[in-house]
Amino acid sequence: MPRLKPDRDTFDLGAALQDVEIDRSRSIGPQIYEALRARIIDNRFPPGTALSESVVARCCDISRTPLRAAIQDLAGEGLIVVRPQVDSVVAPHDEARVREAIFIRAAIEAAVARRLAERGADESRLAPILAEQEQAAAADDYMAFFHADERFHRTLAHMAEVPNAWHLIQSVKAHIDRQRLRLMSSITGRSQRAYEDHLNVLKCIREGDASGAAAQMRDHVNSALESVGSDGKLP
């Protein structure tokens, strides 16, 4: 007797996908990419979730072709693990990978801070962002601070004239954010400290202290390490 889909774990996937809205007047690929990526990062798709191409495509009422493109990109970022002829699942949480992501981000952003200190930076673009951060930190509005923080770092990268560096950072930042959003608890109250870190980095940049700016930024990014397991290998 043929068994057709015991509804084992497909059900919740359809639920998590039901609110994806595809604008058929634009390219589908990038849209479904963003939709899946957001759901992986905020853990609506827990690690191990099977993302069968046929199932997801049917749920979103699209064909497999643009979906495959999205999955391929996500696999390139390490957010999805594709086992040929077997399955494609959301990548498991990997503390080593998160630590590595923090390492890479710290390296690049420290270099950005160093360059800004060496070349000088026009802080006018940062003022409104800093104001927003101060307010969000005082109100302990985490999501507001989160977005302002993103803009702060992105703006620094653009001021240093390394836009592609920011693109790279975004790809590794996905792993950091996924971890961050997984254990929301350990976050409360950190906004204030992050805000002060930003001020310290800017102080060094203003004074032309290249090594200091790099070190401050490195420490700032590395402070994310406190959330992840200290230094233990994976079991």
Partner DNA sequence: GCCGTGAAACTTGTATACTAGTACATGTGG
Partner DNA sequence: CCACATGTACTAGTATACAAGTTTCACGGC
Q: At what angle do helices 10-17 and 28-41 cross, to 10 degrees?
A: 120
Residue 228 contacts a second copy per CB under 8 A: no
Residue 135 or 223: the one with the smaller Cβ distance to a second copy is 223
Strands (E), the chain: 80-83, 87-90
Question: In whole angstroms, what separates CA 96 from the centre of its chain?
Answer: 16
Task: Residue 118: count other Cβ atoms within 10 Å of its Cβ.
Answer: 15
Considering beta carbons, is residue 104 or 136 the nearer one to a second copy?
Answer: 104
Q: Which of 9, 61, 70, 66 is nearest to 39 (CA)?
A: 70
For residue 16, what are its two tokens? 């998590």
**Residue span binding DNA (CB under 7 A) among the ranges 2-10, 109-117, 121-129, 201-209:** 2-10
Q: Which residues, 6+ apart, have CB-to-CB distance to 230 below 8 Å?
A: none
Of 9, 11, 65, 123, which lies in the binding site for DNA, with binding defined by CB under 7 A?
65
The mark string for 163-202 relative to a second copy (x by CB under 8 A, - otherwise) is xxx--x---x------------------------------
Q: Return the closest-CA partner of residue 179 out of 142, 224, 212, 146.
A: 224
Q: Which of residues 54-93 bind a second copy (CB under 8 A)?
A: 68-69, 72-73, 76, 78, 84
> Which residues of the chain form contacts with a second copy (CB under 8 A)?
27, 68-69, 72-73, 76, 78, 84, 96-97, 100-101, 103-104, 106-108, 110-111, 115, 161-165, 168, 172, 211
> Which residues of the chain form contacts with DNA (CB under 7 A)?
2-5, 25, 27-29, 50-55, 62-66, 68-69, 82-88
